[in-house]
Amino acid sequence: MKDKFKQLCSRTRAAFLGGILIIAGSTLAFTQLDEAQEAAKAPSVRLISNDAPIKRDGRFATSFAPVVKKVAPSVVKVFTTTKAKQTGFSQVNPFDDPFFRRFFGDDFGGERSQRGLRIPKQHGLGSGVIVTQDGYILTNNHVVENADEVKVAATDGREFTAKVVGKDPKTDIAVLKIDAKDLPYLQVTDSDKIEVGDLVLAVGNPFGIGQTVTMGMVSATSRGANVGLDYEDFIQTDAAINPGNSGGALVDTEGRLVGINTAILSRTGGNQGIGFAVPINLAKSVMESLVEHGRVIRGFLGVRLQDVSPGLAKEFNLDESTGALIADVTEKSPAEKAGLQTGDVITEFKGKPVRDSRHLKLQVGQTAPGEKVPLKVLRDGKTKSFEVTLKELPQTELASKTDENEARTDESLRGVTVGDIDDAARRQLSLPRDLKGALVMKVDEDSAAYEAGLRQGDVIIEINRKRVQNAEQAVELSDKIKDKTILLRVWGRGGTRFLVVDESQSG
């Protein structure tokens, strides 16, 4: 009798993206207002916008001093403090870590705490941008996160205690409010109109030495930097951004706010010519929602997405590796009600082309719940149109993009041992009660399947678009495979994803 355990495939490719740092500012906290209280106040905020096009005549200005004089009073220092804490055990001061010494110097953070002693107050420094006359300020979430006290220092020497109106870890944006009137504020502009090659100025307070202005150009737009945020749509610039610049202003040559400086890519902790700013269009929408609703209201489609790799494009008969592949559809979600299916590739959303899963996630998140949205998908090589009514993203919803390492694949089905799902495995791996398939017991690390992203504990639920009920069926289907590439649909890490296993390059 044929053994129901079968070696199917895999080898691994490790991907490492090092040196991207969320910069400057302390890791300090705040207590959010009760939603009912926030709704009762129902304030609103309106930023002054100037969307006139900038001059692109190719001429260099001899001085940006007039722009700096206009912008500088609106960029403030943000000081944060955490209260001293009592410890009952030996603990090393986290700010003694070399990571923080790179930013703040060897003396930052004070002494190490000893057994039973207090951890002293911790201080952080970042920047912020005044965007309304009555004291609303944009900054980064990581500047004020966990802060017990937040203060703002203006360029005229005045100092204010700031209230944290709200924060959004998904975009690293936070909103502060100070009690003041007739403040110098920055006008905003349409950041979607920024082009690669446009000159920009970065204004902030790096290293605590005082306000500093640097100049550079826009190196890229709509950039994902893999800094751990759910929504990344950065403006990339080579204007020098250093620790302490977090929350500061990125302005165009007219002095209009185009972005909030957020992160740098660095292996030394200092500027290396690659900085990232949250576009003001995204920051503005987050701010308005935080002020008016006490939280960020985002659209919810109800799909698990992954990028279309060249291997997946070939398997799904796509001409190019663009669009967002639906790896799973949430039950009773807007996507399911509209008729979307696993394996569909979303190519157009609200009349705009979809470049990848990150891009689509941004588009969905910035769409109001309840809005009817047209979209187009490729299904079995044919374009189909749908209309979906979005819901509000649940507050517990996690990032829905499948990790690229899980979906990056080039190889096939040898070196994999599978077995049936029993009650013990279902409990141990927290598998859904109705999940059927072949449980991956082992994956050889030098196999094509491991390279494709298949791991022990995954459940194979489809092989070449055919359902797998158990290990025996997985073996039978694998025996019939003649091609060197295999399309798997697997369950693992809390959701489903597609993998393309390419055996042609295995030894």
Instruction: State which H helix or E strand residue 485 sits in.
Output: strand 485-492
Instruction: Indicate which residue of 168, 172, 356, 458 is catalytic.
Output: 172
- Which uninterrupted H or E stretch holds 224? none
Q: Sign (positive/negative) of CA torsion 181, 185, 189, 192?
A: negative
The answer to whether the CB of 258 falls within 8 A of the CB of 280 is yes
Distance in angstroms (rounded) separating the CA atoms of residues 429 and 450 = 19
434 a catalytic residue: no
Residue 387, number of CB atoms within 10 A of its CB: 10
CA–CA gap between residue 439 and residue 409 (Å, rounded): 20
Spell out the residues 6+ positions from residue 199 whose beta carbon is closer than 8 angstroms to its own: 215, 216, 217, 218, 252, 253
Q: Which helix (H) or strand (E) holds 71?
A: helix 65-71
| Cα–Cα distance for residue pair 96/295, rounded to 1 Å | 34
Residue 217 in 3-state DSSP?
A: strand
Catalytic one of 10, 142, 458, 506: 142
Residue 466: what are its φ and ψ, rounded to 5°? -110, 130
Is 309 catalytic? The answer is no
Reply yes or no on whether 412 is catalytic: no
What are the two backbone dihedrals, phi and then psi, of residue 133, each rounded to the nearest 5 degrees? -65, -30
* 11-17 long-range Cβ contacts below 8 angstroms, 24+ apart: 11/411, 11/415, 11/444, 11/445, 11/446, 11/447, 11/448, 11/449, 11/450, 11/451, 11/506, 12/445, 12/450, 12/451, 13/405, 13/408, 13/451, 14/405, 15/404, 15/405, 15/408, 17/226
Candidate list 10, 113, 246, 447, residue with the active-site label: 246
Burial class (CB in 10 A: 0-12, 13-18, 19+), 108: middle
Catalytic site residues? 142, 172, 246
